[in-house]
Structure 1
Amino acid sequence: MSTQTQTETIVLQARASTEAIPVEHETLDSSPPEPKWMYAKILSAGLSFFVAGVNDGSLGSLIPYVIRTYDIGTNMVAVLYGTTFFGWLIAALTNGKIVQYLDLGLILCLGAAIQVLSQVLRVWEPPFALYAITFCLASLGQAYNDTHANTFVSGLNGAHRWLGFIHAMYAGGCLVGPFVATGVASANIDSKWYLFYLFPLGVGVANFAFVGVSFRDRMATPTILRGEEGRSTASNSALKEIKEILSTPGVWLLSLFFFFFLGATITAGGWMVEYLVNVRNGDVKSMGYVPAGFYGGSFLGRLLLAEPTHRFGERRMIFIYTVLCVGLQLVFWLVPNIITEAVAVSLLGFFSGPFFATGIYVGSKIFSPEIRSSAIAFVFVLGQIGGSIFPALTGIIAGQVGVQVLQPMLVGLLGAAGVSWLILPKDTALHQD
């Protein structure tokens, strides 16, 4: 390992989202020290993911009402996913600069505040154009808040367990979201579905407050970044790190896995209700609860399968889960029975549950310590872009041939995720902790 100058070491520590020990002291057997107020910070990260889950998980149940309120087709729903994509894209382009000037706590607060703003703009049935813009704000806030919370947790001892917890909280938010959204939307003959957003607004404010309290020791602007000389040094270091990230094959391969996996799960969650209403002739007031089965399964899978996945080997187990998911998706597609489909969807959520946390954990092991923090953030954001593109693409195609295009789209995405996982680089350090 090449020797770093003292200035480079300070810059690296200031830019990292984790509270890890300096690189020159890191060995294969060393463990990062526990950060201050560690459990409060883990709970805060979990709440951040819960907020994101409520936002993401509720849209599928609301799409039928959005279509009818704004008198739009499924192709126009793609606009909502398109603006979500731009939020993640803006985050990908600005994240490198933000981490130079803001410490971890300030970045998390910024992300939480932007999410609160997006919910404030939604609660009064805004015009469709403004409603679409709020999805850009929500994804931008999630990118700053969840990406760095995710990276922080991935640097802790026993990271696979804590990652399983915070991603289970995301699934928990996705589970709660459809119940609340469907309950509010179906409460009156003249649906006031937009009042649902009072709920994510409330939990978003709680998230902002909890982040501010638990990460209050990470609110200072890094000293090394003050002054012209500090900014120049930080910029050079950041540019060098970005070049190393972009030249690392494992970064692109893991991003590809998340690109397809999130494309599959977010597409399924977003279009499942509309598919059951239009293709299976289900009642919209009842079908709005079906995504809760998917996210409930995902919640249990992230909690219960984290340890077996780690013990029996991440590479082997995730591939087995992928094969099971493809089989369950085929059942959902080919068996025209709503009850059978609801059960298949719940099991699909269960077996796909560990994918995200396991992928982040594997990334924390296969990336070198010098780029680990920023590489994981890069992978997270790039994967979320897939979760925006494919639901939008599904909506555009559905506008031409019908929403039944959902099923072949999901089978293809899950299969592509499995292939992407198999070609990830291997690493012998995966089970050392």
Structure 2
Amino acid sequence: MKNKTGRYSVYIRPIQIAFDLLIINLLVLICMRSAMNNIGYHSIVSVFWLIISYYTGYYEVYRYTKEVEIFGKLLKQFFFTSLITFAYAGYMYKQVNTQEVGWYIFSSFVLVALLKYSIYIFLKKYRLLYGGNFRNVVIVGNGKSAEELEHFFNNNLDYGYHLIQIFNLKTNKKEELEACKNFVVAHKIDEIYASLHSLSNNEIDDLIHFADNNLKTIKFLPDSKNTFLRNLAVEYYDYLPIISLRTIPLDVAVNKRLKRIFDIVFSLVVILGILSWITPIIAILIRLESKGPVIFKQKRNGLNYEEFYCYKFRSMHLNPYADLEQVQKNDPRITKIGKILRKTSIDELPQFLNVLLGVMSVVGPRPHMVSHTEIYAKSVDKFMVRHFIQPGITGLAQINGFRGEVETETDIINRVKYDIFYLENWTLLLDIKIVFTTILNTIKGEKKAY
């Protein structure tokens, strides 16, 4: 018998809401029997749970939602729920056992999180093993984006997309588009992915009209991977819609402050906990092997393309090419102690001083030396976009294999791609994930750490 295409998905969210409400209400009986076991609190926590979830998008979890995004939604939901709980307790009771309330919030968070992730993982396994809860899709058009989407659908079956047909529009476009429409209706296709690279404005309008009138979801692929369109923002001037190229979360004041607090706390921990005692040891080892300063400083471009001095432990012999040539594998300029420093990334530790001074961040696009920045600005499309935010000690590009020497043009193009994705999709949880991944990669050892 042929599997259904996820028609019971509509019941998943109501079931999860019911179980969440059951958990947070039952735990009141278990954890807070002496204080808040009354109909008033049960009613208030249930109503506010639903209101908060609506405004935070707590239940807006889709097959393409990442695990870290789910965790972020959990944190938001329980932050506001905790505020309501403590506010109610403080208003209704003169003396409240904060240990009871804290245990209630913690146990609720753990159980609700287990439920949410269990459903998420179960659906992934269900799609992968049994072919259920899937969407039938077609791709219309050709180009780099269409090829990459085809590869994604074929290699990520747990997302629940079945690629049924590709209409590449390379022969007779008009006939293929008509055949596509007939195919979509006849084979009960759920979603159409159309490449803007292959379609005219009239053809796009025609496909939208067809999808709307046949209750099909239509999504569009950008003209090229190099357009980097990730977060188009629609604003309204009176009733006129205006589309901005991108939104940058770190332009929002509260996000900027949050990231700065994280930077200050993390850099102080590293400076006081590691740099304070390791610097004298490194200084002695560096000076024993070669003459010159312990700290190497180099001009680099940061936020808004402004120049600043980036600090590192000196890992090379003094040479006139330090500001002009990137370090290469087996570079004769690198000292013996320098090889160890670079391999373990200890040479980067003084950059936490840059972070504390506010010219760098713990996470962000890696800054390049000024001479290379000028070259890349002219030769690499969208390179300058990286300078909309502060540079970082580590970044999304670095944990994805694009750190160190730029050996080919593909290296710098991919680095820019990841940097732009980061600045358009920043969250504090993404920063934390990048930091932990960087630490793990350093412990395991990286191929390009030289």
TM class, shorter-chain normalised? under 0.3
TM-score by length of 1: 0.23
Instruction: Tell me which protein shows more helix as a share of its residues.
Output: 1
TM-score after normalising by structure 2: 0.23
Tell me which structure has the larger Cα radius of gyration: 2
Higher RCO, Cα 8 Å, sep 6+? 1
Q: Relative to total residues, which structure has the larger strand share, 1 or 2? A: 2
